[in-house]
Structure 1
Amino acid sequence: MGSLYYANEAEPIEIEDRALAHLKIVISTKLRRNESFTLSWVLPERAGRETIWVHPSIPMRFIFDDAVSPKINNRWLQDMMNSANSSGGISLVEETIEVAQPDTVRS
């Protein structure tokens, strides 16, 4: 489980390493462009959700439990980037897995 430290909060936002790696790419890309957005996630223990405002002036720190970076799923990354570009901001959702289509048999 990775940790995202936001602003001056003492308690981190805990996010699974694989999701955090993808999220870090999207956040870094948006902030490099000087773009602000919201980030939301589900709070299963309270059956609610939480949202933060991400802005270039707000410090963030990413800590990963695993020293090895995961393989990046480009589809999931694109889905996150699309949501970051929407008015609703990024919503942390389950990983999008592309299923390979079987080859078409030609007669």
Structure 2
Amino acid sequence: MGTLIYDGADGFAFDDRVLAHLQAVIATKLRRREGFLLIWTDRTSGIEGTLRSIWLDPSISLQFVFAHPELPELNRDWLGLLTERANGNSGLVLEDALRAEIREEVPAGSFAAARAHRRDA
């Protein structure tokens, strides 16, 4: 598990693969001087978890600390989806199912298939 350190104080745990994708998307947005909201359920404090949201802006200090010395390989499809969400009005929402698929804990396409099914219903 890696850590996203926000504003020099709060640290939030993410799987290294998820954190690497976040780093790429966040760095792109901040390079463009675009702020946005990041929202996820933090399950480190218990099974039910805590809904967290942080505002990411070029003026706020961020550190990405990875548990392993090599960065995981990035998936262009996931980068595209995360970037699309970060550009939306609701901010970048990281559902548990999406994070599980990025971590490769469920078959690729599972999150996308479930999302398409909900949209069609």
TM range, normalised to the smaller chain? 0.7 to 0.9
After superposition, residues 1-107 of structure 1 pair within 5 angstroms as: 1-9=1-9, 11-44=10-43, 45=46, 46-92=48-94, 93-94=98-99, 95=101, 97-98=108-109
When the two chains are superposed, the root-mean-square deviation of aligned CA atoms in Å is 1.7
Tell me the secondary structure at the aligned position of residue 37 of structure 2: strand
Deviation at 1:8, TM superposition (A): 3.0
Q: Distance in 2 between matches of 1:23 and 1:17?
A: 10
29-38 or 47-56, larger mean C-alpha shift? 47-56
Aligned length: 98
Q: Distance in 2 between matches of 1:41 and 1:79?
A: 15
- CA deviations 1:19-46 (Å, max 9, x no partner) are 0000000000000000000001112324
* Unpaired runs of at least 5, structure 1: 100-107
Q: Which has the higher helix share?
A: 2
Deviation at 1:70, TM superposition (A): 1.1
> Structure 1-normalised TM-score?
0.83
Report which of the two structures shows the higher radius of gyration computed on alpha carbons.
1
* Unpaired runs of at least 5, structure 2: 103-107, 111-121
Question: Which letter maps to 2:55?
Answer: W
